[in-house]
Amino acid sequence: MTTDFFDYIIVGAGSAGCVLANRLTEDPQLRVLVLEAGPADHSLFIHMPSAFAYPLANDRYNWYYHTDPEPFMDQRSMYCPRGRVLGGSSSINGMVYIRGHALDYEGWASRPGLANWSYADCLPYFRKAEHRARGGDAYRGDSGPLKVSTGACRNPLYSAFIEAGQQAGYAYTDDMNGYRQEGLGPMDMTVHKGRRCSAAVAYLRPAMKRPNLQVRTRALVARVAFEPGSSPPRAIGVQVVNGQRIDLLRASREVILCGGAINSPQLLQLSGIGDPDALRHLGIAVLAPLRGVGANLQDHLETYVQYACKEPITLYGAMNWRAKLRIGAQWLLQGTGLGATNHFESGGFIRSAAGVRHPDLQYHFLPMAISYDGSAPASFHGFQAHVGPMRPTSRGHVRLRSADPKEPPQILFNYMATEQDRKEMRAGIRLTREIFAQPAFDRFRGRAVCPTDAVQTDAEIDAHIRAHGESALHPSCSCRMGSDEWAVTDGSARVHGVAGLRVVDASIMPDVVSGNLNAPTIMLAEKLADTICGKTPLPRSDMPYFVHPQYKSVQR
């Protein structure tokens, strides 16, 4: 297909964009174009699960964003990687498959205009998307495109973490994506036969075999184009940077933005949709005055609780070049071994205090002491738990620096701006120390590395978080759904005040969910694909979910 006229233009081949490309082109009469600013996803470092730190830590497949100085984090400019490649962030993330808690979606549905986003409405779409290696049930899917497996937990440290949690009084959960999220147990990952199952692998590659789908890489969209004089303004396509030229690509039905929580609000503002005063200041004509564009930005902050390990069984032994060669060869030849896992094989969710209805702290356990993106290499045998609050009350923003689409936007999360967030993070560190102090870790536990045992008071813990806290890489909510004056889209993802334009990605979440965001983003794209295509929604689920019966009076 060589025409520049399409029914739908999808901007961004990330998690949501890949889903929409697949589902919309199931109708052979629809012509769909996907535009991705980055390259194809051919690198072995993308497809080898244990190598995810490489694409995560450089700008080849990554927008490589950094925040403005964070005022409550010692003025640090913090790293905010976003995928710029086929598959988007699903091609560079840690491959953790977590759906969030049922009550997150009940909270969405309690907002005006969002009644059809309840857990009962969303669960069928999680199941539709998923192909679980262990088989499906009333909560889990077994025939969807997205391949999901569960960590084998062969290293004894994984089991020690789960056992220590039980010794500390927390429940064991064998499926934190099923009936019961609360507790510690094995974790799921988007890995299939030892390879990353990104949204590009699961959805886009199969759809690219269809003649009615066209995918263009290295295509930077400058702005959405609108029909002159239309009322309300109607999107008719996009303007794409082509060297020194701007090309117009037309969409007869809709333009759908799938750029994520940073790029979607950036593109809306470049197109004249946003806070009118800010747009006028940059010389951008105001098309639709929506103050909520780029506002309400949320993310999960986390910190590492690290200990030295007394036994040489950690991944530190796999960090020398000879070991890496052996691991790489085994993965290439057999698809097995240490290269075939993301190494986040156990973890869980707990509540930080009595009175919290559903878990507000998440754990990822790792049998090594290292930074998430590999920027601080391991130098000793150690282990760590990543812990952080799930429902932050701090809010940030995404704003334009200029009207140049090539210039990165201003990003500020305002991490730790509220006392509630600081309180939950303090609890996270103290409760994690308590878990590591249990008998299950006696044979493994060495000295406390970070934070050290000297960090005890609220003020000392707060200072530690300011200096060492990192993004869990879950930016969201910057174009949130709703019907109030700060909402950007309605419950069907249509942008308020204009026609022919939707946003479908994590930016439309009203509030961040309690967990990693890849699975929820794929779910919402599956659900909205049915909406866009005019299909009857999947039947609602009546499956129950666990809430601690004594949550008001006990913490565990």
Q: What is the 3-state secondary structure (H, E, C) of 417-467?
A: CCHHHHHHHHHHHHHHHHHHCCHHHCCCEEEEEECCCCCCCHHHHHHHHHH
CA-based nearest residue to 516, from 370, 359, 299: 299
Terminal-residue alpha carbon distance, the chain? 58
The rounded distance, in Å, linking the Cα atoms of 296 and 487 is 10
Listing DSSP states for 152-205 in one string gives ---SHHHHHHHHHHHHTTPPB-S-TTTT--SEEEE-EESEETTEE--HIIIIIH
Preceding peptide of 232 cis, ω within 30°? yes
CA-based nearest residue to 471, from 343, 303, 349, 342: 303
Preceding peptide of 312 cis, ω within 30°? no
240 annotated to a ligand binding site: no
The rounded distance, in Å, linking the Cα atoms of 363 and 380 is 22
Residue 474 is among the residues annotated as catalytic for this protein:
yes
The rounded distance, in Å, linking the Cα atoms of 96 and 291 is 33
Listing DSSP states for 25-68 in one string gives TTSTT--EEEE-SS-----HHHHSGGGTHHHHTSSSSB--EEPS
CA-based nearest residue to 489, from 273, 338, 186: 273
94 annotated to a ligand binding site: yes
**Crossing angle of helices 119-129/102-109, nearest 10°?**
130
Q: Among the options 47, 397, 474, 548, which is catalytic? A: 474
CA distances from 325 to 146, 250, 322 (A): 29, 48, 5
Look up tokens 């051919």; give the residue. Answer: 42
CA-based nearest residue to 91, from 485, 458, 518: 518
The rounded distance, in Å, linking the Cα atoms of 397 and 417 is 13
93 annotated to a ligand binding site: yes
Q: Hey, which residues does 411 pair with through a beta bridge?
A: 398
CA distances from 97 to 100, 396, 516 (A): 10, 26, 7
The rounded distance, in Å, linking the Cα atoms of 89 and 286 is 31
73 annotated to a ligand binding site: no
The rounded distance, in Å, linking the Cα atoms of 472 and 120 is 27
Which residues make Cβ contacts (< 8 Å) with residue 29, sequence separation at least 6?
A: 212
The rounded distance, in Å, linking the Cα atoms of 498 and 323 is 56
95 annotated to a ligand binding site: yes
The rounded distance, in Å, linking the Cα atoms of 507 and 488 is 10
Query: Residue 52 phi/psi, 5° resolution?
Result: -65, -20
Burial 179-212 (b: 16+ CB within 10 A, else e): bbbbbbbbbbbbbbebbbbbbbbbbbbebbeeeb
As annotated, the active-site residues are 474
Return binding residues: 85, 93-96, 221
